[in-house]
Amino acid sequence: MPPAVKQELIAGGKSQIGVQELESAAWLQIMEIKDSTKISLLYELDRGEAEVIILAQEQRTAEVIIDEKVARMQARILGLKVVGTLGLLLRAKNQGFIDEIRPLINKILEEGIYIHENIVRGIV
């Protein structure tokens, strides 16, 4: 995860994820992008989305987690596979990492993140 996404997670949401929670996650690695000049090439994206795409290219990662429509399109144009938060939850359920998706979606909605009900119905 690039630093801009870390900052967005810490700053956003009602529960405000703490720095310690992010830094103590053994499965999560915060990585700086090498070429910050590329951010200006992705001018229509916020910094976190731009850093995700750039970091994926630098690390030769095939897939990224992005929810915003414009950023998803940009990532696809640049040859990256894209999965959203709900797609990631669906994978986790299908692979047995979680039992239910609905409680997690409810928590996301409680945090003030909008998800269209048709999308929720299609997944749950």
Task: Kindly report, residue by residue over 46-103, the tens digit of the pLDDT.
Answer: 999 999 999 999 999 999 999 899 999 999 999 999 999 899 999 999 999 999 999 9
Please write the tens of the pLDDT for every residue from 1-45: 898 887 887 776 555 555 566 666 777 788 899 988 888 888 889
Residue 94 lies in a domain: yes
Residues 23 and 56 in one domain: yes
Residue 21 within a domain: yes
Token couple for 117: 């009900």
**Residue 39 DSSP class:** G
Residue-range definition of the domain harbouring residue 104: 86-123
Do 55 and 7 fall within a single domain? yes
CA atoms within 13 A on the CB side of 31: 17
Q: Is residue 95 part of a domain?
A: yes
How many structural domains is the chain composed of?
2
**7: buried, middle or exposed (CB in 10 Å: 19+, 13-18, 0-12)?**
middle
Residue 13 falls inside a structural domain: yes
